[in-house]
Amino acid sequence: MTTVPPPAAPAPEPISPVQAAALRDGVLPPVEEVRPGVWTLAVPFRFGVPDATLVYVVEGSDGALAVIDPGWAADDGLEALRDGLSTLARSLDDVALVVVTHLHADHLGAAAAIRRASGARIAMHRLEVEALGREREDAVANDADVATWGLPEDLRAGVVEAWGSGRRIGLGRTSEPFADLLLEDGDELPVPGRTIVTLWTPGHTAGHCCFVDEADGLLFTGDHVLPRINSGIGLGGRTTTNPLGDYLASLGRLDRYADLEVCPGHEYRFRDVVGRARTLARHREERSRHVAEALDVLHEPTLFEVAARVPFSGGIGSMTGLLLASALTQTAFHAALLGRSGEIRPA
């Protein structure tokens, strides 16, 4: 049986004309005031799509700055952050706190450099810190998974290199601790004069967090909810829970924040986080349906054979390395959530 999928909901409208124009023109948007004492600026991230991270700078009542997701350190990322701060007549020296939504380099990357420059503390969810400490171990453990996926021979080495023991770990990291302040759900950030609360939203990574500033009407969403991109799932190290189940539950956690302006980690600010979360959840339902349909028609398939029947954008045939590993692990998460993992034959 085939079902006609519902038409994809349009992406939410940008709040900021300058961010919308910059995205259209393929340039970085300028520094913009979001609220009194809250600004956003973009830093480049050229190693992936999207190619810029939105950084948020929040001033406390003591004049010190907190930076949410400082972005990628390499190349001119840190330079873009310095430039952005200088247009506010501020510098890295003024940063007292670096808050990180999740462990990916396009968000966490510059944190340690800022700490070295200013003595700022780095705040991150405990699970992200644990995952960073386990990166090598997890990458090696991934090899055993990859061996069971039934990958064509010519694709396997690329996947091991991107997802398994061939991965480059801790690019540019030193022996410094990953974080000074371990966050848990509900924790208030130490920003004097403001109430910004940690909202744990696992899925994209296990310790991904959003941050809620109800007084200013702002919801910082990192990569949990983006206006146009469907975030990947389970991209923060090995977990004991199903990242897809976690992600869907985390989308549900946003229901309370329908009125807040969404400040995502990429693209542009928008409203109606609940509508966007519903669209993202529907996309997952549809993918689950495709996985179920593949399992219905295949007899003892490998994970690769199941994924090959799922209409990933571009199709699995166009994928290699990290993208392919992510498509395969997502297929496995969907099968597990359907209670049908047992139907997939380890190769």
Q: Which residues bind Zn ion (CB under 5 A)?
A: 106, 223, 265
Question: Which DSSP letter does residue 30 get?
Answer: P
- Sorted by sequence, the CB contacts under 8 Å of residue 11 that are 6+ apart come out as 227, 228
For the bound state, the minimum distance from the C-beta of residue 193 to Zn ion, rounded and expressed in Å, comes to: 29
Which of 231, 277, 255, 240 lies closest to 102, judged by CA? Answer: 231
Closest approach of Zn ion to the CB of residue 50, in Å: 7
Of the two residues 108 and 310, which places its CB atom closer to Zn ion in the complex?
Answer: 108
- Comparing CB distances to Zn ion, the nearer of 106 and 138 is 106
Spatial separation of the C-alpha atoms in residues 197 and 101, rounded to whole Å: 12
Q: In the complex with Zn ion, which residue's Cβ is closer, 55 or 64?
A: 55
**DSSP-derived secondary structure letter, 28:** P
Instruction: Compare residues 106 and 128 and give the one whose CB is closer to Zn ion.
Output: 106
The Cα-based distances of 288 to 256, 281, 306, 337 in angstroms read 26, 11, 11, 8
In whole angstroms, the minimum distance from the beta carbon of 222 to Zn ion comes to 7
Instruction: Identify which of residues 54 and 146 has a Cβ nearer to Zn ion in the complex.
Output: 54
Selection from 145, 136, 250 nearest residue 200 by Cα: 250
Helix (H) or strand (E) holding 160: helix 153-163
Based on CB atoms, which residue is closest to Zn ion, 223 or 305? Answer: 223
Q: How far is the CB of 318 from Zn ion (least distance, A)?
A: 22
**Beta carbon nearer to Zn ion, 105 or 218:** 105
- Minimum distance from residue 28 beta carbon to Zn ion (Å): 15
Burial of 61: CB neighbours in 10 Å, binned 0-12, 13-18, 19+: exposed
Chain CA centroid to CA 316, Å: 21
Minimum distance from residue 72 beta carbon to Zn ion (Å): 9
- Whole-number Å distance between alpha carbons of 218 and 196: 9
Contact assessment for residue 298 and residue 309, using Cβ atoms and an 8 Å cutoff: yes
- What SS3 class is residue 167? coil
Q: How far is the CB of 306 from Zn ion (least distance, A)?
A: 27
The whole-angstrom separation of Cα 18 and Cα 145 is 44
